[in-house]
Amino acid sequence: MRFTPVFGALVPDPVLHLLWSLEERGVEIRIDGDTLIMKPMSQISDSERVLIRRYKAHFLALVRGCNELA
């Protein structure tokens, strides 16, 4: 698996690609504490949900980093 440095952390490339894909599909992604909130869930497949759970810490870091830039 390849990793890309983002916001001072190494992030698995599949996480980056999934995040970009979700954003392109209009999925709203935000954080409440340590909880990822993504709407609408109908835009996220079961296999993508597995990946999100597996790499939750990476998703949290990416979303937090993006929020800091905004």
Dist. CA 38–CA 28, nearest whole Å:
5
Dist. CA 67–CA 31, nearest whole Å:
10
* pLDDT tens figures, 3-54: 999 988 899 999 999 999 999 999 999 999 999 999 999 999 999 999 999 9
Residue among 17, 39, 43 nearest 29 (CA):
39
Q: What is the pLDDT of residue 28?
A: 95
Q: Which residues partner with 30 through β-bridges?
A: 37
Q: What is the pLDDT of residue 29?
A: 95
Residue 3's CB: how many other CB atoms inside 10 A? 13
Residue among 28, 7, 35, 4 nearest 17 (CA):
4
